[in-house]
Structure 1
Amino acid sequence: MLRSIATVGGWTMASRVLGFARDILIASRLGAGPMADAFFVALKLPNLFRRLFGEGAFNAAFIPTFAATLTREGFSEAQRLAERMAGLMALWLSVLTLLGMVFMPQVLSVLAPGFSARPDQFALAVELTRIVFPYLLLICLVALVSGVLNGLSRFGAAAGAPVLFNITAMAALLGLTPFVATPAHALAWGVTASGVLQLALVWWAARQAGMALNPVRRITLGPNERGVLRRMGPGIIGAGVTQLNLAVDVIIASLLPAGAVSFLYYADRVAQLPLGVVGAAIGTALLPLLAAQIAARQRLSAHRSQNRALEISLALTLPAAVALAVLAAPIITVLFERGAFGAAAAAETARVLAAYALGLVAFVLVKALVPAFFARGDTTTPVVVGVGVVAMNLGLNLLFLWATPLGASGIALATGLAAWANVAVLLWLLHRKRHFRADRRLRRNAPRLLAAALAMGVGLALGAHWLAPGPGTAGAMWLALLCALGGGIYFGVAHLLGGLDLRELRRMVRRRR
């Protein structure tokens, strides 16, 4: 599992670094005003559906079934399952894409009601979303083929595909802007083009793995296909609950003054670095591993895998959360304060990032806990939990909107608090079902890792006070020095307390090489 996490995490890190370059470019060209808000809403809509129908419900239902079919019935039957599900997904997502493009004004009236009071911004958002919306079909097929690759323990191409998204978006922004109406239009065309490239990459990787997914002339539903669809039902609701949380954030943000959607986007992109590298890597590697261990009745191995996944999550995410909370202002200043993105926008985005940091550990833990349900074919329980989480998120959003001056940072804080509630309930349910119990190593190391992260936070706060990184190259150098200082404090204290064995990490790296 560690090797798989390293592979996914490494590619995800590369994607995140390029994503930062992309977002820095976007911030300098679009800033944090009405045009940027319109583009980010346009990008949000296909991503909501992608996570709902692709990475969410489908993968939760498909990957365990694919892994079990591969283990019990062999390679050929697993390939037939993948081809039939690909044909079915392509058919009904094509219909959804066409309907979405036709009724886009009505859809955005619900998703971004605050734009209706600003007709020019609303019209721009509709136009951009229509350009971007075919990305939904392409990226959901990417998710399907990536699920096949993950089930075959081939993680590299699937994890590396998002790199193409960032490269294509930057190329479009730089190369197409003189030929289209606005820079946002260039970005929108780049998003759709990236979907084509990502699909070509993962399809080629599947072919190289010996499982080329050829088009099917007739879609027939056998027991395995019907099993995937049965699991997708509650899975769609469960994934929909999570995505509804994100949709609620956009709806509330659209009611705030112009720029709120952009503040949330830029802060979320920074928070997504540890969330994507750690959370996505652990969730991607853990689900097929647990599914295979449970299918083979290796309960002790599944128990150990779950505990180690939570330990790795805490070891890597606790210091990231503390660092983002303490260094939110210098991070945003160094990354984005240039061009159309001024000091006021940087200050507001930093407040949002600090609020997101409070829920970062919870976001990652959810990704490490949900596979424990999905691997056992239980896609219903996360739905029930998620309904309560959405209600809590909505209530907190409304409370912070009307009863506090928090603005966009209140939206981020509400999301984080709801995520912690999600973690607490999932842990309790897994413990009650006897699917999880913290082993001695996890109970011993978790508080020591927290103490090391807090010690690092004190050191970073003192360093930031004396160094005070600002915009520009000098600020970036001071920020890098602070990060190195924080990393040294965290790993040193964690090693001294016994929460993290640096010698074990060194041995792991050598084995990886």
Structure 2
Amino acid sequence: MNLLKATGTIGGLTMISRVLGFARDMIGSRILGASHANDAFNLAFLLPNIFRRLFAEGAFSSGFVPLFSRRLAAGGQKDAEEFSNEILAVFMPALLIVTLVFLIFMPAVLAVVAAGYQDVPGKMALAVELTRWTFPYLLFISLVALLSGVLNSLTRFAVAAFAPALLNVALILALLVAPRNDLDVVRYMATAVLLGGVAQFALCWFAVRRAGIRLHFGRPRMTPAVRELVILILPATAAAGVYQISQLFYGYFSTLLGEGALTMLSYADRLNQLPLSIIGTALGVAILPAISQAIAKNEDHVAADVQARAFDLSMLLTLPATLALAVGAVPIIGALFQGGEYTMAAAVTTGQILAILVTGLPAYVLVKVLTPAFYARKDVKTPVLIAVTILILSIPANFLLIPVIGIYSLATVTSAGAWINFIFLFTILYVRGHFRMPVWLVSRVARQLVAALVMAAALFGVRALLDDWFFGGVAQRGLALITLVGVGGLVYFGVAFLIGGVDREAIASLRRRKPPQ
């Protein structure tokens, strides 16, 4: 597998989805502002996504992909297909039960999760209504996670990476056709979330069938394959559960911080998640099958080499993103979201939140790079202990910091938690001898950091020169953003290339054409 090519495919198509996501947020921010209706929608969108990560993208994928890859390598596509159908037969009814329970008890759930909304007339009722529309999205997007696991194991990354774009298309259409009333707008958006999930499921289902895998919804049976997966993912579910509990606390704390708090935190996190999704998630998805197959063949040196090259590539792309977002946080947020109902004060606060969040970005990405080394070895207990430790530290930290720094406490604690997570993962892998940073990797990352610092200095100059443009007309904002990105990219990659921060052989190999057969 060509790691650079696979990451480029996943990252490039994820970028399309993220660009559409920004278009969605830019339209939504101007129509809704940092209002209680926008807060209610963001909460309704947050809840199914928390459980999606709990049941699907985290624990399930980390267990399913290595087992599917092993079946594919040992027994071929037919054996892997049988395994998938056994899992699907159990996975589907479990998701149905969870969805129905939450739909019934949603008022009680939100009374705990969003306690602060009870003090605002109508806000809690609106949040319950919207969440009952969005929560069934969990059912479809969790099935998408299974289908994506199949496609990724077959090294067919494109469809699974593109599928999330359909959700953003549905939300943009809802924003454009909804009546210009806050309540109607968010109701259209909540319906669009559900329809977007259905569209993603349909796309991935047909892609799996085209790949030659015939899936069906059979009678649930506790087969040896199902038991093996359950035993494998239970600790990972616990680990993800600890993280998602922390996200519920994140939502809970935000509801106590006044109108618009959850909206501002959500918009800042969108930009923070952009490089994480494009770089970290793409690399994590790309290297898990490769590491799993190497370990299955007792080729630990191959697994370590894949991990080292992923570390190198992640830092090459993440370090400039981190410093660029930190330097340009307020101007970027202003250019993207300020206008209409979204005030200058809200934009400045959102930018300051972003500047804090991105200090943890390298750690977020490296966690995505390091965790496959545990999952591929069927060690999901260690991440559980790490997640529990971080939760124990983060919850009281927020209680202590909110009275001192208010809304900025959530970003501060989140960033610090990411670095603690990375340090624990790296130290354990190092002690066990599973991953050691070779000299070439240390040297290259140091050079990448130098290039990123030079870029940051250049961006300070761009910001000072074009500061008013970021809050000007549409053309001025566009030119200011293009200039910021263009100067940053040219300076960083130019300096990195000159001082040896880039793997020149890998770049050269992309230019080589295959010889004619």
CA distance in 2, matches of 1:68, 1:431: 26
CA distance in 2, matches of 1:29, 1:506: 47
Give 1:264 shift.
Answer: 0.5
Residues 171 and 193, structure 2, Cα contact 8 Å, conserved in 1:
yes
Residue 433 (structure 2) pairs with residue 431 (structure 1): no
In the alignment, what sits opposite 1:24?
Answer: 26
1:105-116, aligned counterparts within 5 Å? 105-116=107-118
What is the total number of aligned residue pairs between the two structures? 510
In the alignment, what sits opposite 1:389?
Answer: 390
Give 1:425 shift.
Answer: 0.4
Give 1:450 shift.
Answer: 0.9
CA distance in 2, matches of 1:121, 1:179: 15
CA distance in 2, matches of 1:509, 1:185: 49
In the alignment, what sits opposite 1:361?
Answer: 362
**Letter of the structure 1 residue corresponding to residue 51 of structure 2:** F
Give 1:179 shift.
Answer: 10
Give 1:446 shift.
Answer: 1.1
Residues 33 and 259, structure 1, Cα contact 8 Å, conserved in 2:
yes
Residues 263 and 408, structure 1, Cα contact 8 Å, conserved in 2:
no
Quick one: which of 34, 40, 65 aligns to 2:36? 34
Quick one: which of 128, 135, 143 aligns to 2:130? 128
**Letter of the structure 2 residue corresponding to residue 441 of structure 1:** W
The SS at the match of 1:470 is helix
CA distance in 2, matches of 1:23, 1:179: 17
In the alignment, what sits opposite 1:293?
Answer: 294
Q: 1:318 to 1:123 in 2, by over 3 A?
A: same
In the alignment, what sits opposite 2:415?
Answer: 416
Residues 39 and 184, structure 1, Cα contact 8 Å, conserved in 2:
yes
CA distance in 1, matches of 2:375, 2:155: 18
* Per-residue deviation, residues 390-443 of structure 1 (Å, max 9, x unmatched): 1222132222202x23x2222111100110000000000011111111112211
**Letter of the structure 1 residue corresponding to residue 13 of structure 2:** W
**Letter of the structure 2 residue corresponding to residue 194 of structure 1:** G
Residues 355 and 410, structure 1, Cα contact 8 Å, conserved in 2:
no
Give 1:510 shift.
Answer: 5.3
CA distance in 1, matches of 2:240, 2:12: 26
Give 1:221 shift.
Answer: 2.9
In the alignment, what sits opposite 2:89?
Answer: 87
The SS at the match of 2:259 is coil
Per the normalisation by structure 2, the TM-score is 0.96
Give 1:176 shift.
Answer: 4.0
Residue 496 (structure 2) pairs with residue 494 (structure 1): yes
In the alignment, what sits opposite 1:8?
Answer: 10
**Letter of the structure 2 residue corresponding to residue 313 of structure 1:** S
The SS at the match of 2:339 is coil
Most deviating of 178-187 and 7-16: 178-187
1:225-264, aligned counterparts within 5 Å? 225-264=226-265
The SS at the match of 2:293 is helix
Residue 168 (structure 2) pairs with residue 169 (structure 1): no
CA distance in 2, matches of 1:142, 1:178: 33
Give 1:455 shift.
Answer: 1.2
Q: 1:179 to 1:90 in 2, by over 3 A?
A: farther
The SS at the match of 1:215 is coil
1:106-505, aligned counterparts within 5 Å? 106-177=108-179, 181-216=183-218, 218-402=219-403, 404-405=404-405, 407-468=406-467, 469-471=469-471, 472=473, 473-501=475-503, 504-505=506-507
Residues 177 and 185, structure 1, Cα contact 8 Å, conserved in 2:
no
The alignment yields a C-alpha RMSD, in angstroms, of 1.6
Give 1:178 shift.
Answer: 6.7
The SS at the match of 2:342 is coil
CA distance in 2, matches of 1:489, 1:511: 28
**Letter of the structure 2 residue corresponding to residue 470 of structure 1:** F
CA distance in 2, matches of 1:221, 1:77: 17
* Per-residue deviation, residues 180-213 of structure 1 (Å, max 9, x unmatched): 9520000000000011100000000000000021
* Per-residue deviation, residues 84-138 of structure 1 (Å, max 9, x unmatched): 2112111011011111011001111121111121241111000000011110101
* Per-residue deviation, residues 297-334 of structure 1 (Å, max 9, x unmatched): 22111110000111111110000000000000110011
Residues 90 and 221, structure 2, Cα contact 8 Å, conserved in 1:
no
Give 1:506 shift.
Answer: 4.8
CA distance in 2, matches of 1:113, 1:179: 25
CA distance in 2, matches of 1:152, 1:398: 46
Most deviating of 101-110 and 173-182: 173-182
CA distance in 1, matches of 2:58, 2:505: 37
Most deviating of 502-511 and 315-324: 502-511
Give 1:169 shift.
Answer: 0.9
* Per-residue deviation, residues 219-277 of structure 1 (Å, max 9, x unmatched): 22332221101011111111112222222211111110111101110001111111110
Most deviating of 16-25 and 111-120: 111-120
Residues 178 and 184, structure 2, Cα contact 8 Å, conserved in 1:
no
CA distance in 2, matches of 1:32, 1:510: 50
Residues 245 and 415, structure 1, Cα contact 8 Å, conserved in 2:
no
Aligned identity (percent) is: 42
**Letter of the structure 1 residue corresponding to residue 433 of structure 2:** R
The SS at the match of 1:221 is coil
Instruction: Extract unaligned runs of 5+ from structure 1.
Output: none
The SS at the match of 1:42 is helix
**Letter of the structure 1 residue corresponding to residue 29 of structure 2:** A
CA distance in 1, matches of 2:58, 2:40: 25
Give 1:143 shift.
Answer: 0.5
* Per-residue deviation, residues 32-80 of structure 1 (Å, max 9, x unmatched): 1111110000000000000000101111111111111111122112111
CA distance in 1, matches of 2:429, 2:121: 49
CA distance in 2, matches of 1:475, 1:142: 37
Residues 389 and 421, structure 1, Cα contact 8 Å, conserved in 2:
yes
CA distance in 2, matches of 1:180, 1:69: 51
The SS at the match of 2:433 is coil
Q: 1:511 to 1:260 in 2, by over 3 A?
A: farther
Runs of 4+ in 1 over 3 A off after TM superposition: 176-181, 501-504, 509-512
Residues 180 and 186, structure 1, Cα contact 8 Å, conserved in 2:
no
Most deviating of 465-474 and 1-10: 465-474
**Letter of the structure 1 residue corresponding to residue 242 of structure 2:** V
